[in-house]
Amino acid sequence: MGLCRLCRLLCKLGWLLNRRIHNFLEKTKNHQRKQIIDEVQGVSKEKEILRKRVNSLIKRRRLTEVKKLVKNEEIKPWGRDAQAKLGSRLLELLTETAYVQPPIDQSGDSPPDIRPAFRHKFKTISRDPKQKIKKRYGIIECDPLLLSGLDNPAGLDNPAKHMLIPYIPMLVPPKKWKGYDNGGYLFLPSYVMRTHGSRKQQDALKGVHVKNMQKVFEALDTLGSTKWRVNKKVFAVVEGIWASGGNIAGLVDRNDIPIPEKPPSEDSTEIQEWKWSVRKANKINRERHSQRCDTELKLSVARKMENEEGFYYPHNLDFRGRAYPMHPHLNHLGNDLCRGVLEFAEGRPLGRSGLHWLKIHLANLYSGGVGKLSHDGRLAFVDNHLDEIFDSAENPINGNRWWLTAEDPFQCLAACINLSEALKSSSPHSVLSYLPIHQDGSCNGLQHYAALGRDSLEAAAVNLVAGEKPADVYSEIAVRVHNIMKRDSNKDPATNPNALLAKLLIDQVDRKLVKQTVMTSVYGVTFVGAREQIERRLEEKGQITDDRVLFAAACYTAKVTLAALGELFQAARSIMGWLGDCAKVIASENQPVRWKTPLGLPVLQPYHKSERYFVRTSLQVLALQREGNSVQVRKQRTAFPPNFVHSLDGSHMMTTAVACRDAGLHFAGVHDSFWTHACDVEKMNQILREKFVELYSMPILENLLESFQTSYPSLVFPPLPERGNFDLQEVLRSPYFFN
């Protein structure tokens, strides 16, 4: 704890200064333009052609080319080498000038203990605790006094208050997007896409005409125009719990666990057990420290925004076209704490339908299986717990604390408060509601595959078809896994080694065991990934204590779960396979897979083999990496199916956002979860279904294949997979498609 490896830090420091200087030069453009004109207008007649050329370039704002013509000098951007060297010198200055002095307990007769706040050191670190290979890294280590202050806000007058968080929420609407680096924050560097340094992705994006990006820009502007505020009632409860030590409602414990003392015995077994217990305690304490710092950052932003009338989140995209708030700490994509303390800045009367959806929203947040009931079942659940809901709203800390039993406690508390206000009012339907009401997709990745494949069975499994209650694909897979294990358990262990594992596991199979694997299957989860997911769930159950048996059981369960998925979602598997095969054809020619989303956004998979090189700086020699010219064939192939589906769900969310804005609704989105006021849920539900049907009425796979054949005319691609005859219009009538 309290240390940071250097490479990325130094490059980031240099990049930030590079941006500051770039912004300064941008502000002097008008002065430079006038200077250039004065120089050119004084030239002789034989340079008249040059003058006309320069004036033409100036009118088109191509100032860099003007400077090259007039001053005959190349203007090159800083490279990563220069940024690293500059960052190194800046950090060196920090270590030479920043000091701390421990407080009061020093003797007045002794000299003050003033010491550097940061130190540059070399440390041998293992990147993976399970591996014995260790490497020597340069690090910056902060003084323990700073570290204790971060962990204990009382120690340094709450240092989170003094931390510079530049990309905080905005008090005015964000700047509308008009280009790659033109939009979002008014004065901070803002880019429409998070390319993580991929030059090829940046070039692909910059090469698109602004007119072809208008739909994307419009959607980002719509998401950024939603006005938020802090829910003061919920935030007061959060602050009270945090001040009392946390460890409630998902908040981390603010105290470390004690480190076990060394046993007096010299017995090697006891000593080894003690060492393991010390390692485990230190690991837990490191995790708690990290979580405490994260919580402090979230709360510090909430404190800054608490008394503001409202604020905004500028949005940009990842390389696949999914939208994210640019502020990283307190936003609606965050955890239950973040979502619980945020609400719309504008309230709207509940109305009859709003009261209905507020109750369903509360039931969904409580969950524990309640969210899988029909709408009527969820309404009945809320009506049967009104006393607990009223008590939670009136006395959240010292009452019965029913809200703490919810899966999302802070969001549940916010809903309890709003519902209590409405039901205790003489006119419940006129009570203002500021809460965002969520409508979530049902295993949304599989919903997109079902629409692509037009398979009726798969469509019904993920609620593209109307039913009396929501279909639960996770429970369906759990039943299939249980049936396979039941068959295996009846086999002879002498000839079938899985028989014993099946008998051991048959009573442990449930929805939770397979949920994560089912959810991530459409995003390319491997057998190893599935095994690790299931191993964690089995470990939580605690019925298998032997590590070797646990590993074998996880391997067997993962194999059975993936087999059950293959049985139920054959059409989805077929499309995944086709996408992967196309990507392999392209990547085998050392080309990255690229495509355009339905909104016209160019996507290029940034998976290239990196090249390592060394840069000598004032602190140390740095080993840097840069994007090479060879693609990672395997990564290009395995990542394409999930990335392509992510680009489709991003398109669905953004088209829904714009349509909701046009209909006068407030909208917020978290990938496959769409939010609006309670009174507007029914209208949003209609819009999001219409936009889904509109999206998949397009020949998406045909267009993709055609674009591949046009871009790579010499390559041969596999034929499109066969598809079913599912009628997309069924989605418009399905109440549990998003619910």
| Dist CA 709 CA 720 (whole Å) | 13
Burial class (CB in 10 A: 0-12, 13-18, 19+), 420: middle
| Dist CA 610 CA 624 (whole Å) | 10
| Dist CA 697 CA 609 (whole Å) | 38
Assess contact for 369 and 378: CB atoms under 8 A: no
Q: Residue 738 gets which letter from DSSP?
A: B
Phi, psi values for residue 532, rounded to 5°: -65, -40
Is 38 annotated in the active site? no
Q: b/e per residue, 85-109, with b = 16+ CB within 10 A?
A: bbbbbebeeeeeeeebeeeeeeeee
Assess contact for 662 and 335: CB atoms under 8 A: no
In the set 181, 440, 510, 581, the catalytic residue is 440
Is 175 annotated in the active site? no
> Which residues, in sequence order, are CB contacts of 233 under 8 Å at separation 6+?
414, 417
Phi, psi values for residue 176, rounded to 5°: -65, 145
Q: List Cα–Cα distances, 294 to 164, 299, 345, 651, 696, in angstroms.
A: 14, 9, 25, 31, 40
Tokens, residue 579: 């996408």
> Which residues, in sequence order, are CB contacts of 185 under 8 Å at separation 6+?
167, 170, 174, 175, 314, 326
> Which residues, in sequence order, are CB contacts of 93 under 8 Å at separation 6+?
none
In single-letter form, the type of residue at position 682 comes to: E
| Dist CA 285 CA 677 (whole Å) | 41
Largest CA distance in the chain: 100
In the set 81, 672, 680, 691, the catalytic residue is 672
Q: b/e per residue, 170-199, with b = 16+ CB within 10 A?
A: beeebbebeebbebbbeeebbbbbebeebe
> Which residues, in sequence order, are CB contacts of 621 under 8 Å at separation 6+?
614, 615
| Dist CA 639 CA 594 (whole Å) | 12
Is 81 annotated in the active site? no
**Cα angle for residues 458, 461, 465 (degrees, 5° grid):** 90
| Dist CA 326 CA 255 (whole Å) | 32
Phi, psi values for residue 392, rounded to 5°: -65, -40
In single-letter form, the type of residue at position 260 comes to: P
Q: What is the DSSP string of 584-653?
A: HHHHTTT---EEE-TT--EEE---EEEEEEEEE-SS-EEEEEEEEEEE-HHHHHHHHHHHHHHHHHHHHH
Chain-centre distance for alpha carbon 382: 31
Q: List Cα–Cα distances, 487 to 200, 484, 502, in angstroms.
A: 52, 5, 9
Assess contact for 141 and 3: CB atoms under 8 A: yes
In the set 515, 649, 680, 691, the catalytic residue is 515
Pairing mode, strands 118-125 and 175-179? unpaired
**Dihedral over Cα of 234, 237, 238, 239: its sign:** positive
Specify the 3-state DSSP secondary structure of 669: strand
Question: Which spans in 28-126 are helix H?
Answer: 29-41, 48-59, 63-71, 80-97
Specify the 3-state DSSP secondary structure of 55: helix
E strand segments, 427-509: 432-433, 437-440
Catalytic residues: 440, 515, 672
